[in-house]
Amino acid sequence: MTEAPARRLHWYEHIWVNANWFALTLRAQVLAGLVVPLLVQNYVGEAQKGSYYGTIRLWALMMAVLTQALFGLLSDHYPSRWGRRRPFVVIGTLAEVVVFALMAWVAGLSGMTGFYLLLVLYLLSMLASNYSQGGTQGLIPDVVPPDQRGTTSGVKMLLEIPLPLVLVGLVIAPMVSQGRIGLALAVTAAGMLVCMALTLLVHEESSLGTTTPIDWKPLLSLVWMTVVFTAIILGLGWVVKVVMAALGSTSRLVLSLIGVLAMVVAVIAGIFGSLAVHSDPTVRRSHPFIWWTISRLAALVAVNNIASFLLYFLQDKFTLPAQEAVSLAGLLPMVLGGFVVLFGLVAGWLSDRFDRRWMTALGAGIGALGVVVIVLGPSIAWMYVAAAIIGLAYALFNVASWALGTDIIPTERAGEFLGLQNLAGAGAGAIGAYIGGSIADHTGYVWMMVMFGVMFVLSALTVLWVKEARPAG
């Protein structure tokens, strides 16, 4: 097993190691939270926007399930005088900047032609961003000593959530609400290039002559894992549509219960089914890793899709026009980010001193409380309260969960294992969007939020099945 890094980081190096997480969140929030749902609504209309948006998210995120793990594996074995992680950040970032330029042109189109071109470009964007993330996620295990990883994860949280959300809320969302999508994408690209430059400052040793040959067998496993996971989501989505058609006119509660059941099955069966076809028995027998991934998947189904469908939810709950909803959809994540700033470093301190399983479960429980406020809050002011609560929840959950993950994976295969957990990151968006989107077209988006609250509860329960957990300090 590769030895853990012994060199301790200076305070500013925590920023360099995590700089590209800022870029990855920035592009995700701009695309998934604002640009893509708005363009889909423009292309297909109000009545079917949930289903079409769910479809575009499904295929983009299933590509991420495959490519991020693939690129993580390639990064583990990449020989370079610049180290094995940073070249992936540079190439992925530059490629996505090119895609953004094409996307700005597509924004001026209409109808199904615009939708299908957007689908292609969104797939290419996910390919480029996951190439970058494949290298980024291996930096903490590679260069940060174990007793500093809680703090580094806290800094990761600050750069991953609050700061990009402030930029989106104050600068980019107003551009999108005014129809200046090309300018919004240009500002996003500029931010990503700055983060790429900061990542190049990371003290990463040359990997020339130190890497081992790649075992290409896992690639077949990755393909099968993606096929299995996608088949499970598509199958459950088909079952949901058949059941809804058979029931005809029924209550929103019944439809929501169907959606919750389908999501729970997709989360648990998706992870167990996908990892079961992996060729490496070490992965198949790694039960702590499996339950950790299920817990992350359940929580991220909630977090990712609350953000992705926030625009539609605000239009539904408060009957807002698109322009006003876009502005609010940019401001609410800013409040969330502010509370992540207030609690992010505290969350890192807590995760270094207490059982990371319980800290992760507590974060998910607080998230469920935030969803209660989202659903029952009678005014827009209450949405700001909900954003604050979910900000606290996400800070604690993600810091503790990520630190827990770095404890239970083999260090020498960190890129591969953390790439495999993209089943949680990418699969979350796919499950919530594809299954939840089709239901929301019939129930509305308030009931969709109820379903995401249940996912927080599932996350809190399943993380307690991770048996090999310990405080770092």
Structure tokens at 191: 């931010």
C-alpha angle 213-198-35 in degrees, rounded to nearest 5: 95
Name the pLDDT band for 289 (thresholds 50, 70, 90): confident
**Range in 44-48, 389-393, 418-422 the model is least confident about:** 418-422
Per-residue model confidence as pLDDT tens digits over 70-96: 887 788 877 777 888 889 999 999 999
Burial class (CB in 10 A: 0-12, 13-18, 19+), 80: middle
Per-residue model confidence as pLDDT tens digits over 417-429: 776 776 666 677 7
Domains of the chain in start order, with CATH, are: 11-202+218-465 (1.20.1250.20)
**Range in 14-28, 142-156, 362-376 the model is least confident about:** 142-156
Mean pLDDT, rounded, for 39-60: 89
Per-residue model confidence as pLDDT tens digits over 150-208: 778 778 877 887 789 889 989 999 999 888 999 999 999 999 999 999 999 988 876 66
> Looking up tokens 């980019």, which residue turns up?
172
30, 197, 198, 339, 458 from 171: Cα distances, Å: 11, 22, 22, 19, 36
**Range in 28-32, 239-243, 344-348, 450-454 the model is least confident about:** 344-348
Mean pLDDT, rounded, for 345-372: 87
